[in-house]
Structure 1
Amino acid sequence: MTNYVLVAGAWLGGRAWDEVAEELRGGGHTAHPVTLSGLAEKRDAPAGQRTHVRDVVDAVEHAALTDVVLVGHSYAGIPVGQAAALLGDRLAHVVFVDSEVPADGKAFVATSWGGSVEAAIAEHGGSWPPPPAEEFGGQDLTDAQIGRLLDGATPHPGATLTEPAVLTRPLGELPATYVKCLLDGPEPNDAVVELLKSDRWRLVEMETGHWPMFSQPRELARILAEVPAPS
């Protein structure tokens, strides 16, 4: 049995993982979806980047989990990558699902999303609003799936996007899988390409868009269940 800790990207809470979690539990594993501070049912909680890292670490430590596969999607790759380095021998593997990865001293707004995110935060009182439904086109999502995604979306706290990451261990030393969703671009970004040179990292591709927990939850759960087993 493996303990999966699942963290969704910007705007989304733990409910984004409902279908994936059901598949994992059906395979005899445990699944622990995490809602980060400032989002979904925690939307009123103040949050910065360090808060989100602590949210992930606390989810593992408060439940006394071991043999943890830590999963971060999109934005959540940044706090998840930092948290993974803090978990010590509780961590079995980390999976980055079409995500950004943290760079020491750099914030999410230093990624390719950059200036547009900063402008949106400034225009919306310190939060990054969810995109309109039409921006999810071409991502292998049905109208119903887009509706469910947006029904669970809340504005994302801006401080988590502008505060820098702090790495206590090189990411290339972590046992990791990067899941690239090909409809969101055929290649990982340059930082991920460099990390994939590590013999501890591997690449898996999915023929779907950026939100595979909605578009292909069963296939994503299968990929997660096949990551290298805890030693």
Structure 2
Amino acid sequence: MDILLVAGLWLDGSAWDDVVPALEALGHNPVAITLPGQGDGATSATLDEQVAAVLAAVDSASGKPVVVGHSAAATLAWLAADARPEKVAKVVLIGGFPAGDGKPFADFFETTDGAMPFPGWEPFEGPDSVDLDDEARDRFAARAIPVPEGVTNGVVRLTDERRFDVPVVVVCPEFSPEQAREWIGDGDLARAARLDFVDIDSGHWPMFTKPVELARILAAEA
């Protein structure tokens, strides 16, 4: 099965380099997506352009793919289900939850020169980064790509309630399934016809620290 992999803020498709071969070994076809303005060489992009890139991958997939969104890209995965409910087999959300309709995509940190740079590790101290050593942190910071303001401030628009028919799996790294259920509450995801939770013992970036275990989870969900 095609498994479309969309990394969160500041990351390009190479974030999945250790997950891809593990998924291939398990018989799947992983596709790591590099988003516009987030690794393709462009310094500007919009949320609509990033959504379009994900939808292009959905449309070109063999059969109905699983769409995986990590962190802020959980919103991109959910927008794919909203735009292509008949073409998406399942949505897997890793360490993140979709922004609601009418909300900004990811205006979490200050922008500089039209983009939101990686803010350093202070906001992520604790469970998020506990399994990243100094070398891994330095490597992450060095590869981090400022996310264009047109993406971070883009407004999320959800229009098709058929998205609730698409099965959703929340992979819980730095938080527990119980916490995830509490945070979702009666929000948009709570209306999904099928909503499951899977725990993984890692920080916020399991593609770096637990790639094989993450691949096994994604393969099982596919």
Q: TM tier, shorter chain?
A: 0.7 to 0.9
Give the counterpart of 1:203 among 192, 197, 202: 197
The one-letter code of the counterpart of 2:198 is V
User: Aligned in 2, Cα 1:48/1:196: closer, same or farther, shift over 3 Å?
Assistant: same
The one-letter code of the counterpart of 2:49 is T
- Do the aligned partners of 1:128 and 1:158 also contact (CA within 8 Å) in 2? yes
- Do the aligned partners of 2:2 and 2:61 also contact (CA within 8 Å) in 1? no
Q: CA deviation at 1:190?
A: 5.8
Give the counterpart of 2:53 among 31, 52, 55: 55
User: Aligned in 2, Cα 1:47/1:224: closer, same or farther, shift over 3 Å?
Assistant: same
User: Aligned in 2, Cα 1:23/1:56: closer, same or farther, shift over 3 Å?
Assistant: same
Task: Give, in whole Å, the separation in 2 of the partners of 1:132 and 1:29.
Answer: 35
Select between 5-14 and 162-171 the one with higher mean Cα deviation. Answer: 162-171
When the two chains are superposed, the root-mean-square deviation of aligned CA atoms in Å is: 2.4
Instruction: Please show how residues 1-231 of structure 1 align to structure 2 within 5 Å.
Output: 2-40=1-39, 42-44=40-42, 46-61=44-59, 63-109=60-106, 113=108, 117=109, 120-121=110-111, 124-133=112-121, 137-138=125-126, 139=129, 140-170=131-161, 171-182=163-174, 187-188=179-180, 192-194=184-186, 195-196=189-190, 198-227=192-221, 229=222
CA distances 1:167-226 after superposition (whole Å, capped 9, x unpaired)? 122353321101121359972286634324644111112221111111111111111111
User: Aligned in 2, Cα 1:137/1:215: closer, same or farther, shift over 3 Å?
Assistant: farther
Find the residue that maps to 1:31 and give its secondary structure: strand
Task: Give, in whole Å, the separation in 2 of the partners of 1:184 and 1:37.
Answer: 32
Q: What are structure 1's unaligned runs of at least 5 residues?
A: none
Task: Give, in whole Å, the separation in 2 of the partners of 1:84 and 1:45.
Answer: 27
Task: Give, in whole Å, the separation in 1 of the partners of 2:104 and 2:121.
Answer: 27
| Identical residues among aligned pairs (%) | 34
CA distances 1:108-133 after superposition (whole Å, capped 9, x unpaired)? 357xx4xxx2xx11xx1121111325
- Do the aligned partners of 1:67 and 1:92 also contact (CA within 8 Å) in 2? yes
Task: Give, in whole Å, the separation in 2 of the partners of 1:5 and 1:76.
Answer: 12
Q: What are structure 2's unaligned runs of at least 5 residues?
A: none
Find the residue that maps to 2:5 and give its secondary structure: strand
More helix by share: 1
- Do the aligned partners of 1:196 and 1:203 also contact (CA within 8 Å) in 2? no
User: Aligned in 2, Cα 1:133/1:182: closer, same or farther, shift over 3 Å?
Assistant: closer
The one-letter code of the counterpart of 1:127 is A
Task: Give, in whole Å, the separation in 2 of the partners of 1:89 and 1:132.
Answer: 40
- Do the aligned partners of 2:85 and 2:165 also contact (CA within 8 Å) in 1? no
